[in-house]
Structure 1
Amino acid sequence: MLVHPWDAGLDDAEWQTWIADGHDFGQLSVNGLPGRPPMVVPTHFTCDGTHLLVHLAKPNPVWEAIEHDPNVVFTVIGDYAFIPGPWRAKPGIPPTDGVPTSYYAAVQFTCRADIVDDAEGKAELLRRQLAHFQPDGDHALVAVDQPPYGRMLSGIRGLRLEVNDVRAKFKYDDHKSVEYRATVADRLTERGQGLDVPTARQQLRRLDRIGPWKS
């Protein structure tokens, strides 16, 4: 992932806050077996200190590849929008000569995968995930000897992804003028399609922190 200086995370707290703000679905990328392409698995995840927690169905074909090479990448993408060329046209040139781009936030975790296969280990992983996704506790007890989860544990495997490196990118034209960025945020809010509104919020948040870009 190319990260220009103006796209980079401002500090660790920025990407950590962004992840904590409901960005808990991503893609697990695994090196393929010799002669085969890489494998990509979309999945929810939770953070546990320096680890990401994932569980997948036991028949998932990704397991053999992870056992062969446990070095993986987990990517989370959000708050994205297409920015049409006329919005980015420089003063004095025809709007149709403006060059379009994409805005987005992305966090990539480089990890080493540890497979969790014992029943109690899988139960504890599920308990931690449910504490995140159903914090009200409106679910049955996750225990190896009680239904409904106890009998289902044999059908899944868990993953503890030890995070070794994090690359964060917030691509919102932060190297352009304050006036331009504020105008685009207004246009995104007015357009209101897809993730336009959260994209505008990210652009304005970065604008408030950065102000005019200084190289």
Structure 2
Amino acid sequence: MLIHPWDAGTDEQSLAYVKDHQFGHLIAAGRGREVPVVVPTQFLLVDDRTIVLHLARPNPVWAAIGENPKVVMSVAGPWAYIPGRWRAEPGNEPELGVPTTFYSSVQLICRAEVVTETEGKLEILREQLADLESGHGDPARMPRLMSGIQGVRLAIEEIRGKFKYDGHKDAAHRERVAKGLTERAGPGDSSALSHL
């Protein structure tokens, strides 16, 4: 992903964003494949270097991870289209302004460790349930579930955060765009406005 200096997020900003958006795409390139395996999934950011999740045993991602344990967890969240007229420089024709899209995206480059033993899978499930649904029954009492899944621990090796909100533009420009977002109030506009 292209990250300009004015769009770059710090590791702390990027991990805070991931913590608030724990649904993404696990991407495993494998070896010698025409395309990588891409799995939309919920996950848990345990700490600033660890992600855990579980998936069904028949998932094709397991073979790709077996071929190459280096994976990407990609997280992107609310986006907002910014019309060119909002971004036109003063004195220029509004229809000649350059449109763009505001968005946040974080890619975590990780090394995957597949967890197949029951105790390891239980630990992952308990961590996820404690975060998502405290008070849920003990997954150890669901043997059918345990036999149908595998877990994975992702060790985060690199954090790539991009927060594209015209950070390189002056305050007057951002105020014009903010006015447009406020008036339009469409999907993603509130999030874009808070970042802007």
TM-score bracket, normalised by the shorter chain, equals over 0.9
Give the structure 1 partner of residue 28 of structure 2: 30
Report 1:27-66 matches (<5 A).
27-49=25-47, 50-66=49-65
Distance 2:176 2:94 in 1: 15
Superposed structure 1 runs of 4+ greater than 6 Å apart = none
Give the structure 2 partner of residue 181 of structure 1: 174
Select the residue among 119, 138, 143 that pairs with 1:141.
138
TM-score in terms of structure 2 length: 0.94
Number of aligned residue pairs: give it.
Answer: 195
Distance 1:182 1:65 in 2: 46
The DSSP-based 3-state class of the residue aligned with 2:139 is coil
Select the residue among 180, 190, 193 that pairs with 2:186.
193
Give the structure 2 partner of residue 125 of structure 1: 124
Report if the CA contact (8 A) 1:79-1:202 is conserved. Answer: no
The DSSP-based 3-state class of the residue aligned with 2:21 is coil
Residues 74-105 of structure 1: per-residue CA shift (max 9 Å, x gap): 11101311111111111111111011111111
Give the structure 2 partner of residue 99 of structure 1: 98
Give the structure 2 partner of residue 212 of structure 1: none
Q: CA deviation at 1:118?
A: 0.4
Matching of residue 7 in structure 1 with residue 4 in structure 2: no
Report 1:105-116 matches (<5 A).
105-116=104-115
* RMSD between aligned residues: 1.3
Give the structure 1 partner of residue 149 of structure 2: 156
The structure whose RCO (Cα within 8 Å, separation 6+) is larger is 2
Q: CA deviation at 1:151?
A: 2.4
Report if the CA contact (8 A) 2:14-2:159 is conserved. Answer: no
Residues 149-176 of structure 1: per-residue CA shift (max 9 Å, x gap): 2321110111101100001111000110
Select the residue among 154, 158, 164 that pairs with 1:165.
158
Question: Equivalent pairs: percent with the same residue?
Answer: 46
